[in-house]
């Protein structure tokens, strides 16, 4: 018997369009299935359906049948499926219940009715399995995004599930950490179904690929065939490395200079020391490096949100910063008012900025009613409307599908001459497709230097 059997699954959220249309598939034990597709194509909804959350938690119109290990999800609640199924959600911050790491990992085991004497040993063992044993006694509020993602994976693995569902598990991780995390997730023998926006990270670990479009399965194939199909039919999803050529360093007007800059959030624990960077009009600089290497700190220093503890930051012009996860930080009730906030309520400029990011016609919508992708574009419009001389973007491609990444890169390139742009990113493909040069930071040390690696392939 297959572990997962989906027959004719069609689903619509309450008051929403159909998110899945006639999906049928069968997943055998031990498979590692990668779900690809643009935002809103149905990947997360399928994961929720496999975990029973659709329809039990979300409501909506559900047709067809989903069976997990022979149990029909229409008659089994998600809490009853827990243990057989474990799920890791997109945003680790929004799935943490308790305050200490070891207790957080033990939470699911307690719910399962695990014998008391086995709970902590299993929790600690799961933490060790994801390389997070040293975090066991730490408060979750003090963990970085990457550490939190490991803890959440440990919480899922501690249940020793037959089916592990991972919704963009590497979105907050640098490439090395992402590779390691995926290795840990797949080596324990569970059947794994995961969605990703950066296929290059996952294809090597997967055995099968499903490509979704508008709620339908467009492709269901082994990895080799899927690679060929992606190259031919969805080149934005192609994982072939882009052509990299050298380009002269920026020669435009100097707009921002960080000289010998240091910063520490706590005394004696510097996250940045003796850091130098110059940003000139017309150039796009990508800032890459592992989690905790100080990229976001540099972004905030460059934009003027932080003052260095040593050294100097000079800005010649107006700076604007788009933070990570910008869709969370909306303050107004209408999209147009949200954008107009940065330009003293100028609705004309705000409407134009919304149109520039493809949100024309959505001016009066409440920002929280927009989809996650639309919220991100709204946030981008809110920053671009100020027409900054220095634009700083912190992880602008997190959770963004390759099609939209390509459009964002094209848009940044098209307007590059208007300003200097600093992009903080873990996304190598995006960095090489948009940046004139990439600055690689090493954790706890100086940057490697201004490595000039112009990524071409800009059409």
Give me the least distance between CB of 394 and other proteins, in Å please: 9
Phi, psi dihedrals of residue 293, rounded to the nearest 5°? -90, -5
Distances (CA, A) of 190 to 10, 43, 133, 187, 284: 26, 20, 21, 8, 42
One residue of 10, 95, 162, 372 binding other proteins per CB under 8 A:
95
Q: Which is nearer to other proteins, 321 or 455 (CB)?
A: 321
Check binding of 279 to other proteins (CB under 8 A).
Answer: no
User: Rounded CA gap, 334 and 331, in Å?
Assistant: 9
Give me the least distance between CB of 145 and other proteins, in Å please: 12
Direct distance between the N- and C-terminal alpha carbons of the chain, in angstroms, rounded to an integer: 49
Give me the least distance between CB of 76 and other proteins, in Å please: 11
One residue of 20, 49, 119, 126 binding other proteins per CB under 8 A:
119
CB atoms within 10 A of CB 252: 14
Residues whose CB is less than 8 angstroms from the CB of residue 292 and which lie 6 or more positions away in sequence, other chains included: 144, 146, 271, 443
Give me the least distance between CB of 96 and other proteins, in Å please: 8
User: By rule CB under 8 A, what string of x and - marks binding of each residue 392-431 to other proteins?
Assistant: x---------------------------------------
Residue 3 · residue 162 · CB < 8 Å: yes
User: By rule CB under 8 A, what string of x and - marks binding of each residue 369-388 to other proteins?
Assistant: ----------x--xx--x--
Check binding of 69 to other proteins (CB under 8 A).
Answer: no
One residue of 53, 154, 408, 416 binding other proteins per CB under 8 A:
53
Check binding of 203 to other proteins (CB under 8 A).
Answer: no
Unique residue bearing structure tokens 């939209």:
404
Check binding of 50 to other proteins (CB under 8 A).
Answer: no
Q: Which is nearer to other proteins, 156 or 416 (CB)?
A: 156
Residue 81 · residue 51 · CB < 8 Å: yes
One residue of 8, 59, 74, 111 binding other proteins per CB under 8 A:
111
| SS3 per residue for 132-182 | CHHHCCCEHHHCCHHHHHHHHHHHHHCCCCCEEEEECCCCCCCHHHHHHHH
Residue 49 · residue 9 · CB < 8 Å: yes
Check binding of 116 to other proteins (CB under 8 A).
Answer: yes
Residues whose CB is less than 8 angstroms from the CB of residue 137 and which lie 6 or more positions away in sequence, other chains included: 100, 101, 102
Which residues of the chain form contacts with other proteins (CB under 8 A)? 51, 53, 56-57, 77-80, 82-83, 85-87, 89, 91, 94-100, 103-104, 106-108, 110-117, 119-120, 141, 155, 300, 303-305, 318, 320-323, 326, 328-331, 341-342, 368, 379, 382-383, 386, 392
């Amino acid at each position: 018997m297959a572990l997962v059997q989906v027959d004719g699954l069609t689903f619509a959220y309450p008051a929403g369009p159909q998110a899945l249309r006639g999906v049928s598939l069968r997943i055998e034990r031990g498979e590692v299935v990668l779900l690809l597709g643009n935002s809103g194509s149905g990947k997360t909804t399928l994961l929720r359906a496999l975990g029973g959350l659709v329809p039990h938690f979300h409501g909506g119109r559900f047709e067809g049948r989903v069976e997990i290990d022979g149990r029909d999800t229409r008659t089994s609640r998600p809490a009853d499926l827990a243990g057989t199924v474990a799920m890791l959600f997109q945003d680790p911050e929004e799935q943490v219940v308790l305050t200490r790491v070891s207790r957080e990992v033990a939470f699911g085991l307690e719910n399962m009715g695990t014998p008391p004497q086995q709970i902590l040993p299993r929790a600690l063992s799961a933490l060790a399995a994801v390389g997070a044993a040293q975090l066991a006694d730490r408060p979750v509020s003090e963990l970085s995004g990457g550490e939190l993602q490991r803890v959440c994976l440990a919480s899922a693995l501690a249940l020793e599930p037959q089916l592990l569902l991972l919704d963009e598990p590497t979105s907050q991780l640098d490439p090395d950490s992402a590779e390691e995390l995926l290795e840990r997730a797949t080596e324990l023998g569970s059947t794994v179904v995961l969605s990703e926006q950066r296929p290059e990270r996952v294809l090597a670990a997967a055995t099968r690929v499903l490509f979704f479009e508008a709620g339908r399965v467009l492709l269901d194939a082994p990895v080799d065939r899927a690679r060929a199909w992606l190259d031919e039919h969805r080149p934005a999803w192609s994982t072939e490395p882009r052509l990299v050529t050298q380009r002269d360093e920026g020669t435009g007007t100097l707009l921002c200079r960080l000289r010998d800059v240091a910063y520490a959030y706590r005394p004696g624990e510097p996250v940045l020391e003796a850091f130098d960077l110059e940003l000139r009009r017309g150039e796009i600089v990508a800032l890459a490096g592992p989690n905790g290497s100080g990229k976001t700190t540099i972004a905030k220093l460059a934009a003027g949100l932080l003052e260095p503890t040593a050294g100097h930051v000079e800005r010649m012009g107006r700076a604007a910063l788009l933070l990570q996860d910008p869709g969370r930080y909306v303050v107004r009730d209408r999209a147009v008012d949200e954008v107009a906030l940065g330009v003293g309520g100028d609705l004309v400029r705000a409407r134009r900025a919304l149109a520039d990011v493809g949100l024309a016609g959505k001016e009066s919508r409440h920002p929280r009613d927009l989809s996650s992708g639309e919220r991100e574009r709204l946030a981008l419009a809110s920053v671009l409307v100020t027409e900054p001389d220095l634009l700083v973007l912190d992880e602008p491609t997190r959770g963004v599908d390759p099609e939209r990444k390509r459009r964002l890169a094209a848009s940044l390139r098209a307007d590059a001459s208007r300003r200097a742009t600093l992009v903080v990113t873990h996304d190598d493909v995006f960095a090489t497709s948009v940046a004139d040069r990439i600055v690689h930071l090493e954790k706890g040390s100086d940057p490697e230097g201004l490595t000039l690696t112009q990524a071409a392939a800009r059409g």
